[in-house]
Chains A and B, each alone.
Chain A
């Protein structure tokens, strides 16, 4: 359908839709800037009497500084590991010929479809009884890498299939090794796909709650999602702190989205085709 130009009524309707859609966010921003007194008086949806940014400071000091750091320590290495393995696998699964290739692609796709609850108990068992990685960031990073590499490899494979093969064939005829072809020729061509995949992975891993819940026990190691849920238990009726905490937890993915939206959206649509 071609994009059309619209009149005033359209813009009024569209603006109303956007405002209603954003109400939950607006409401929590307002709440995060109020005093507990105001909230106790039931003034939840009015503009704050004074903008209390101190709520953010209080939430930050209540543990968010550590949680925040932990989230980065978990997310960044996981994203890089997945990017590396996925690009390598994507190259292998699209440009190298060997028996079992299509079966492997299917196995990776199957992992994307299953309800991940089926992995919970064995992953807990492995990390607590076998590998000794329970309650470590390392264990969580390994798991995120393993779990996301299925989607990542499929994603990169689909992208590399769209690249012209002539360059790779020519390099191969010139006696270039496969590792050099991957690192010198294919990897630079993969940049747009890597950027798209990186934004998706960052969001998913940063936002993870379930796997941290299963594999992390110490408060000092918890990522920001787990920490937020924890602090909500302590701040039962301090909604101003809860909302400040929720907004702090949302900052990195939102910043990422603001600056890299194009890559993020392309990743979502690329990941869903084929």
Chain B
């Protein structure tokens, strides 16, 4: 054995020794569950008992893909897919607001640190708290949103902000609430990006008399590309993970119209006790994320090479 020991063999042993406890936990709670969810999606486990067999083993009449076949005919599933797409499309609104705030508040001033702290603060609130606050905010009859819209005349005095009761718009109410803390997060990332910009390019442009909008659009934004890539990634992951705030504000309602894949999966699993079916839904969510992440990495990798 001695002959196999290179200069790093001691380091190798120590490395695995140090890694062992947390790697064990990580395998148990993160890596194994991914595979096990795949397996469960072929079963109809009801949450009781430790023995779980695939559908086609229990009942030879059935296909092992029965859960997936059923999904295709499940209207609620398609509503959840549609809402997941809405989250993907409209949650990035937070990134736009975050960028605007970063540009607006990247200034020197006595008040700036205080203002920044206030703007950042929603980020540390639990989404349960954010959801609770925004639920009243958007309430009909007495919500602040309705009050303000009436004050500025955008809504007649008898009108109502019924957004959270609407099958068509409730999802957008939830997304709006979720954007509030997320915009603060995007602002932090963009501020970090702004403070890393190369000053000489900006100075040169200023001396050349470039206008404010030209400066932002043609010089600052392209130079913020690294920050934008990070913001895009965290925004995309955040929209795929949406859960807490939906459960708190609507619990998927009214009539299932605000479910996304991540909450519909929970509802089927822990409220209808269809663990196998819930597993199939989470696999769809997982594959969707995986596809998007791979295309994101491919696209950004491509451009980085081209530069």
Contacts and interface: CB of A to CB of B under 8 A. Distances in A.
B11 A146 contact: no
Given A89-B19, A207-B125, A246-B128, 18 more contacts: A2-B202, A4-B107, A15-B111, A22-B121, A24-B134, A119-B30, A121-B36, A122-B32, A122-B37, A122-B40, A125-B36, A125-B50, A147-B30, A249-B128, A265-B120, A268-B189, A269-B192, A272-B234
Contact of B22 (A153, A268, A273): A153
B178 interface: no
A255 to B, nearest CB: 10
B104 A89 contact: no
15 contacts: A1-B220, A15-B111, A18-B119, A23-B144, A96-B18, A113-B237, A115-B282, A142-B25, A242-B132, A242-B136, A245-B132, A249-B126, A257-B124, A264-B124, A268-B188
Interface stretch (B56-64, B65-73, B157-165, B238-246): B238-246
B8 A97 contact: yes
A142 B234 CA distance: 25
Contacts of A97: 8, 11-12
B29 A225 contact: no
User: Which residue of B33, B237, B241, B243 has the most chain A CB atoms within 10 A of its CB atom?
Assistant: B33
The binding surface of chain B is classed by DSSP as helix
B141 A42 contact: yes
B107 A3 contact: yes
User: Which residue of A6, A22, A120 has the most chain B CB atoms within 10 A of its CB atom?
Assistant: A120
Interface string A113-127: 111111111111110
B170 interface: no
Contact size range, B: 35 or more
B142 interface: yes
Given A115-B286, A269-B188, A232 B30 contact: no
A178 B12 CA distance: 11
A116 B144 CA distance: 34
A1 B125 CA distance: 30
Nearest to A20: B148
Contacts, number: 281
A210 interface: yes
A136 interface: no
A254 to B, nearest CB: 6
B53 interface: no
Nearest to B137: A24
Contacts of A96: 11-12, 14-15, 18
A118 B29 contact: no
A98 interface: yes
A254 B126 CA distance: 10
Given A118-B285, A214-B270, A6 B244 contact: no
Interface of A: 1-6, 10-11, 13-15, 17-18, 21-25, 27-28, 31, 39, 42, 44-45, 85-86, 88-89, 91-92, 96-99, 101, 104, 107-108, 111, 113-126, 128-130, 142-143, 145-147, 149-150, 153, 178-179, 182, 203, 206-210, 213-214, 225-226, 228-229, 232, 239, 242-243, 245-247, 249-250, 253-254, 256-258, 261, 264-265, 268-269, 272-273
Given A4-B108, A21-B118, A203-B124, A117 B243 contact: yes
A1 B219 CA distance: 9
B12 A18 contact: no
A268 B275 contact: no
